[in-house]
Amino acid sequence: MESSMDLWKPVGTVKIRVYKYNPKKDFAPGWKEYEIEVSRGTTILDALLRIKEEIDPSLAFRYSCGQALCGSCAMMVNGRQMLICRTRVLEVVKDGKVELRPLDNFPIIRDLACDFKSFFDKHRAVKPWIIRRDVEELENPTGDYKQTIEEYARYYQFTDCLLCGACYSACPTVATDHEYLGPQALAQAYRYIIDTRDEGLEERIAVVDSDHGCWRCHFATSCSDVCPKYVDPAQGIQLLKKLIMRSKLGFKPHKPAEVLPSKIGEVKKR
């Protein structure tokens, strides 16, 4: 009878081809190949950690949770953006080789680690927080903001974003346009605009309806194709375009959510 420990029995060796580049020291990037013994359950992250421990301690890469929750370990595996902590080596091996590169279109810090500064700046530029105008309620809250399950369903999908950078890396517009906001920021802009608790439509439209905003998206859909949390940023951007067109005709996306007075502090009479 097969036991679950069969998942961890070594089944062979795989060559992991890693992009090695230190911008401060090397003139040009190079590749290094490591041979690693794998089992059915070995993830690429497991293999890289084994390489770092036993073969080459100078290898630089990012990882954190190991369970596709933090978005730190996104990189190019055989030419496609993936989270390596949840991709098994035997799933992606081609002719006994797995090729690892840092994410496309991100500046490289070293080897497989990239610089995310401009990516996070673009996320901040769309104001990813709830904007309310009722100062009185914000200063002295009397309760929660009402929201039905249907209104929640309109934006819940986009809240799963890990900011891993896979969608931004896969986008063809990002390849040439370094000012383009990117699918992640635009999908988050839509998530906040369509949230009924939010009243920041004008501020966000000014950012998103610009030369390098949502209209530089041409529906190549690679962002949704590679997203590890199935956030579907392409859908968010097309819905955002539709929303902008409707707002030009005067239609608002939703009425601002009302306050549901809270009963905390009210003493129940027995």
Partner 1 sequence: MSELEYYAQNRRGVSGWFKVRGYVIERKLYALHRITGILIVLFILPHFYSTGWHPGLWWDALLGVIVTFHVANGLRLTLLELFGIGIGKPLLVKKPFQRPVSIEGKQRYLLAISIIIFIALALIWSYYAILVKPLMGG
Partner 2 sequence: MRESTKMLLHYITALIIIVTGLIHLLANNDPNIGKLITANTYLYLGNMAIFLAALLYHTFNGIRVILIELVPDKCWTKLIGWAILLIGIATYIVGFQVLLMALGLI
Relative to beta strand 10-20, strand 74-77 is: unpaired
Residue 85 binding target from partner 1, partner 2, none, CB below 5 to 8 Å by type: none
Does residue 220 interact with partner 2 by CB under 8 A? no
Does residue number 111 form part of the binding site for partner 1 (CB under 8 A)? no
Which part of the chain contacts partner 1 (CB under 8 A), choosing from 6-14, 63-71, 121-129, 155-163?
155-163
Question: What gap in Å lies between CA 86 and CA 234, rounded to an integer?
Answer: 23
Q: How many residues bind partner 2 (CB under 8 A)?
A: 17
Q: Please identify which residue in 178, 252, 261, 262 interacts with partner 2, judged by CB under 8 A.
A: 178
Q: Which does 160 bind (CB under 5 to 8 A by kind): partner 2, partner 1, none?
A: partner 1
User: Which one of partner 1, partner 2, none interacts with residue 186, CB within 5 to 8 A by kind?
Assistant: none
Residue 21 or 180: the one with the smaller Cβ distance to partner 2 is 180
- Contact residues for partner 2, defined by CB under 8 A: 173, 176-180, 209-213, 215-216, 241, 244-245, 248
- Contact residues for partner 1, defined by CB under 8 A: 21, 23, 27-29, 78-80, 102, 104-108, 114, 149, 152-158, 160, 170, 172, 174-176, 178, 218-222, 224-227, 230, 232, 234-236, 238-239, 241-242, 245
